[in-house]
Amino acid sequence: MTTFSRAGFSRSRRRPAAVLAVLSLALALSGQAARADLAGDIQTMLDSYLDERSGIEGNTGASVFVGMSGSGPDIAVYSGTTSREGGSPVTGNTLFQIGSNTKGFTGALMLALEERGKLSIEDTVGDWLPQYAAWKDVTIAELLHMISGIPTYSESPQMNEAFVNTPDRHFAMEELVAFADPLAGAELPPNSGYFYSNTNYLLAGMIAEKASGMSYREALETLLFAPAGLSDTYYEEEAYTGDVLARMSSGYFNNPACTLYEPDCETGALVPLIGRDVKADDVSWAGPAGGIVGSPRELATWIRALFDGKVLSEASLARFVQPVSLKTGEPIADVTEDDPAGFTLGIVRITGRGLEPMYYYLGMTLGYRVAFLFSPEDDLIVSAATNSQPPEGEDGFLPLMIDLYKTALAEKTQAG
């Protein structure tokens, strides 16, 4: 069976006259009833997921948003609470770390800057960041496609140590990149083809700052958040505080697996984190690769705005969605059953599990999972969030997302 790429901030190696008026009213009421039934079905599915999986995955709550444009009102469903200490019920006001869904923002930001003549995505690291001589010939497009060959800082021994012992430590992006830079003493193994490296997106974020003359946060808010109509999406360069922190669900790490650069370990370096609430930890370590906070509704708003042309021109959007194969790292026209997953300039194109080709991402940080499934052809998006990183091989969240999408698609098809 085809499987989906586990793209995200993974922490280990291993998603109508009188008669007509009466008829219209009947149809409308029928649609409302069907929509109410769908909301009830989704609620049942979400409740069952938490009942069955929370003991294994370590999560306490979840939030789901379903957007079926042109087929009636959206659906938002919530289940569980925001913390193991009881907390408050998860609601539409609850925020989550969206993890590597941030990468789609960073990729779109680079294209928005290109449209404004600030850079070309065929520029190289050497053109903008000559201090990284080991990667001087890598293009921005190769960074965004994850085909640069650059190791990932987020699995380095230094990063593991910081996660466990100094969760309040603030990192500059340059410090993080140094964990992967061979000319700074890093001794991480080389890679080729497609390789998921968060260092790529830190470098892209540093280039965006230099090209725009703004901080990454200012560039996001000016060039992406505002045109997309985002009013409840946030990026901080340090730990979140104030109202945003107060509204965030707690997030729990529950994954004992060995990390990428611990090939022969018996006990994973992050085992001491198991059970810890990472909500208030400094998030500078994630940066342009994974530092945004938001909600499933806001994530859906972003994806629709991106594909509706509110952020990028038609030509730039077409460039944004061109994939490279996760198997080979080579450009592909589209995904197929034989080559079912491709990485664009920040999101994933997938097929399989009985679904037609669509766009997807599962973003993960130490204590959160946030995902979306979106089909422009079906005009349907499902996005969801929950508050844990589960043990390796025990993620029931993506299968839930697929079931939710199929259920919503069946309802939309019947109604349409």
Say what the pLDDT of residue 19 is.
32
Q: What is the pLDDT of residues 196-244, one digit of tens each?
A: 999 999 999 999 999 999 999 999 999 999 999 999 999 999 999 999 9
Q: Which residue has the higher pLDDT, 12 or 57?
A: 57
Alpha helices in 58-139 (DSSP H): 102-115, 125-128
Which residue in 299, 265, 362, 259 sits closest to 105, CA to CA? 299
Given a cut of 70, whether residue 118 has pLDDT beyond it is yes
Tokens of 285: 């370590």
How many structural domains are present in the chain?
Answer: 1
E strand spans, 185-265: 234-235, 252-253
State the average pLDDT over residues 136-161: 98
State the average pLDDT over residues 23-38: 48
Distance between CA atoms of residues 11 and 54, nearest Å: 19
User: Is residue 266 included in any domain, yes or no?
Assistant: yes
Q: What is the dihedral of CA 311, 313, 315, 321, to 10 degrees?
A: 10
Alpha helices in 168-241 (DSSP H): 173-178, 199-212, 216-220, 226-228
How many residues does the structure list for the chain? 416
Q: How many other β-carbons are positioned within 10 Å of the β-carbon of residue 129?
A: 18
User: Is residue 1 included in any domain, yes or no?
Assistant: no
State the average pLDDT over residues 347-358: 92
Say what the pLDDT of residue 303 is.
98
State the average pLDDT over residues 165-180: 97
Given a cut of 80, whether residue 32 has pLDDT beyond it is no
| Proportion of the chain in helix, strand, coil states, percent, rounded to 5 | 40, 15, 40
> Which percentage of the chain shows pLDDT scores above 70?
90
User: Is residue 11 included in any domain, yes or no?
Assistant: no
Note whether 11 and 258 are within 8 A (CB). Answer: no
State the average pLDDT over residues 40-48: 97
User: Is residue 12 included in any domain, yes or no?
Assistant: no
For the chain, the maximum distance between any two Cα atoms, rounded to a whole number of angstroms, is 79
- The CA-CA-CA angle for residues 312, 314, 319, to 5°, reads 80
State the average pLDDT over residues 114-136: 98
Q: What is the pLDDT of residues 384-414, one digit of tens each?
A: 999 999 999 999 999 999 999 999 999 888 8
Q: Which of 31-40, 88-97, 264-273 has the lowest mean pLDDT?
A: 31-40
Bridge-partner residues for 235, per DSSP? 292
Q: In the 8-state DSSP scheme, what is residue 277?
A: B
Say what the pLDDT of residue 229 is.
98
CA-derived radius of gyration, the chain? 21
Range of the domain at 169: 18-415
Q: List the CATH number of the domain containing 109.
A: 3.40.710.10
Distance between CA atoms of residues 219 and 157, nearest Å: 31
Q: Which residue has the higher pLDDT, 27 or 147?
A: 147
Distance between CA atoms of residues 268 and 247, nearest Å: 31
Q: What is the dihedral of CA 27, 28, 34, 36, to 10 degrees?
A: -160
Say what the pLDDT of residue 6 is.
37
Q: Which residue has the higher pLDDT, 413 or 382?
A: 382
User: Is residue 379 included in any domain, yes or no?
Assistant: yes
State the average pLDDT over residues 301-313: 98
Q: Which of 10-14, 151-155, 179-183 has the lowest mean pLDDT?
A: 10-14
Given a cut of 70, whether residue 25 has pLDDT beyond it is no
User: Is residue 5 included in any domain, yes or no?
Assistant: no
Report the chain's mean pLDDT, rounded to a whole number.
91
Tokens of 254: 């529950």
Say what the pLDDT of residue 263 is.
80
User: Is residue 239 included in any domain, yes or no?
Assistant: yes
For residue 190, what pLDDT band results from cuts at 50, 70 and 90? Answer: confident
User: Is residue 2 included in any domain, yes or no?
Assistant: no
Q: What is the pLDDT of residues 7-21, one digit of tens each?
A: 454 444 332 333 333
Distance between CA atoms of residues 343 and 356, nearest Å: 16
